[in-house]
Every structure is written in structure tokens, then in C-alpha cells.
Amino acid sequence: MAKTIKNPHVLSAKEVVHKLDSNYAGLSTKKAEDRLKIYGPNELPESKSISPFLLLLKQFKNWLVIILIFAAAISWLTGHIVDTWVIITVIVINAGIGFSQEYRAEKAITSLKKLIVKTAKVFRDGELGTLPSSQLVLGDIIVLEDGDSIPADARIIQSKNLRTIEASLTGESLPVSKKKAKQAIDTPMADQKNMVWNGTFVARGYAKAIVTGTGMDTAIGSISETLSHIEEGRTSFNKKTDVLAKQMSVIAISSAFLMFLIGYFYRDFEIEEILITSIALLVAAIPEGLPAVISIVLAIGAHRMAKRNAIVREFTATETLGAVTAILTDKTGTLTQNSLTSRKVFIPGESEYTVTGEGWFPVGNFMKGNTIIDPKKNDVLQKLLKIAAISNNSELRHDKEANTYELIGDPTEGALSVLAKKGGVQTKYFQKQKIDDLPFDSNIKLRATLLKEKNHQELHVTGA
């Protein structure tokens, strides 16, 4: 049975395949199932979701609430039953608002996690297929292409112009070139050019790699293990309310104690009378409605954020977000949809063409001015669209039930592929004719595909 191997970067691709008891055609389904039972799924362990009971108890873990409980007890002992029930009502309302908001947020996050299923292209029984990345095991042969999320730590066994984005793991902002050659044993992880890492992405190129680490036995898994030992601290808002509660407690107790001293020693009140009065002052000095008011204000903030599709998991996070002065975020795919559309086509000696349609939906018209034209009747335009379709590694996948299209690959190439389809050119007819392909290279600002025609070869190039 295969075992995790140390330092796979110092071994040749052939040695790694041998040590993991695999082959270049991939594992058999039976062998993969056996390994999955032994090593478990290729997943990082998630923190256990908090139970509803503990979530409810969490609402009472607050100095303001503790002081109110203390005030309710004093009111009960001194016979102020109405005050007692008023305070208890406030405590229950406060806990109910907090529990309701955080419980709904937990349920929403759980539902979102179920919707997100990472997949991987993997060889099983000699055939390439797509599986949930959680089912990957040691020795699996995976295929990596433009835009793919790398599903496990793996040793490259074949590559072509492969560059990966490893910022999430190493902090390197620029794409890193990869190759299958062996590396020295003391090579740092960030410089191991023959390895790809779980949680990173393929910027461009193509590769086949053999899985060498899954789950917690990956680089990102070791980081996750380290982070799991970090204790969660109290939020800024909780710290502020704790300080406020302690200050009010000191003021209330000091005022009640001072009244007792003055009334008993200087005004000669009976001890029972001045004691009850001092306790009444102690209870009155505590703002019973404050926790409920705070919860209502925070709930309103969380509700407004929910209308803008932002889930507030920690109830007090709305106040923390209000104190934020700057937000650093990635643009592509975060603030935008990472979707491109070809709008205009320019051909020398002709007026420009305008192309209708949006995103990856391959339906639209070619127009000159306000007139719709048939692109199949223009030989030059058809040749341009053919180049756009052939010098292209992107793939459009059609979900027939939802009637939506998903792009696999580079967005720029995807826009050119959609443009070609709008013009009636289908890329699948040229796949068998491809002899060689050069993925986009930022240094020379172009990509190229060599195509075999009937009596000759053609080089199709797209770029700047």
C-alpha cells in the first residue's frame, strides 16, 4: 500500500510514480477506493459548528447581562417582583435577538458550504474524468489546465508552459513557472518548481501530476493545523461593553455604598430602611434596557447587511465593521464576475462590426450600424473567427437544465471562443487537427496553435 513520501521534489517523476504504487494511466477505481478508506477524504477538518444550546448560553456571556441577572436577584430578594420580571424580560429579549441572528447565520453558512463542491480532473482506470476533489488519494494522476484550482499537493510528471499562482501559500504575487526536473533536497517549499500545492491556482499552461499529499498531509494542511491552536479572542465590541459594564458596576455600587454610609451614620436612618433604599439605588443605577437596545441596533445593522447579501456570523461584527477605515480586496472574481465580452471587430478596409450578447452565452448578432449581417458571408471575418476559435484552450460547459454556461480556462480566450460561436464557428471540429499549442506568454504577448490542414500546416496566432 502506498505511503506518503517525504521530499518528493528530490525524486524523478518515474521514482515518485513507483513509490506511490501508481502508473501514468492512473489508479484503478478499486485501488483508489481502498486508499480512500485508509487515508480518508482529501479535506481539511472543519471546526465543529456550535450547538443551538451553546449558542444560546453564549448570549449570557456578557458583563452587562451578568449585572442584570444580579440586579434581578436583588430585586427578587427585596420583594420588588415587578422590577424582577421587567429585568428578566429584558434579558430574555436580548438573548432571543442575539440567538436568532447568529443561529440563522450559522444555518446560512452551512447551506453555502454544501453548494460549493470542488472538482478535479483525474485519470481512473485509464480514462480522464471529473471527481469531487475530496475523493483524491495518493497516487492519483490529475490534469491541470488554465484557471484550475489545484486540489492536492502533487509532483509534476508532465508540463507545458505551466505557471501557478501561489500567493495564498507563499505570498508570491507573480505567477511561478513550473517544470518536472528534480530539485535539491534543501530547496525551500516556495522554490520547489516541480511541485504544485493544494489551494493554489493554475495561471496558464498544462500539466499532469501525481498526488503526493491529501487532507492534512498537505502544505496548506500543516498551516491549518497551526492556525487551529490559535485561541479566539473577544471582539472589540465585547471588550468595550465589558469595560462599560464594569464602570457602571463600580459607579452603582459606590453610589449605593455612599448612600448607606451617609444615611446610617449622618442621617440616623434605621439600618433596614437605609439598606433597602441603598439596594433600590443600586438596582436603579443599572440601565436595564441598555443590552436590549444594543442588540436591537446590532440586529438592524445585520438585517441591512443581509439585504446586500452579506451574512453576519458574529452578532457584534456589525460594530467592528463600522470601525473599518480601509478594505483591501482582490478585484477579479470578487468585485467583478471575471467575465469578458467581445464587443467590436475591426477588419482593415471595412467599417467596424458591433457584436451583441453578454458574458459566456454564445448567442448574439454581428451588426454594421443598425443592420444585422451574416458573418458566414464574409470570408475575411470567417477566417478571423476561425483563428479566434482554434488558437484557444478555453471550454464552455452548458448546463441544459439551468440553461447557463460556465467557462473553463482563461477569460480572454473564453471571450474569443464565444465570439467565434456567435459567428457560427465551432471549436470542436478543429481539436483533432491540432499539432501543437503554445499557451499565452506574457513576455511575447501572444499565444499560438499549429493546425494541420489537408495539404499544409497553418499557424494561428492571437495576441497583442
Active site residues: 330
> Distances from the Cα of 222 to the Cαs of 127, 133, 164, 219, 386, in angstroms?
32, 18, 20, 5, 47
Local structure of residue 190 (DSSP, 8 states): G
Per the rule left: phi > 0, alpha: psi between -120 and 50, beta: everything else, 309 is left
92 three-class SS: helix
Q: 63-97 burial, b if ≥16 CB within 10 A, otherwise e? A: bbbebbeebbebbeebebeebbeebbebbeebbeb
Q: How far apart are CA 282 and CA 412, in angstroms?
A: 70
DSSP codes, 410-451: -HHHHHHHHHHHHTT--GGGGGGGEEEEEEEETTTTEEEEEE
Contacts of 375 (CB under 8 A, 6+ apart): 353, 366, 381, 382, 385, 422, 423, 424
Q: How many helices (H) and strands (E) does the chain have?
A: 13, 16
Cell digits for 38? 485508509
H or E segment to which residue 388 belongs = helix 379-390
Q: 127-147 burial, b if ≥16 CB within 10 A, otherwise e? A: eeeebebbbbbbbbbbbbbbb
Cell digits for 438? 503554445
Backbone angles phi, psi at 365, to 5 degrees: -115, 150
What amino acid is encoded at 47 in this protein?
S
Q: How far apart are CA 415 and CA 397, in angstroms?
A: 14
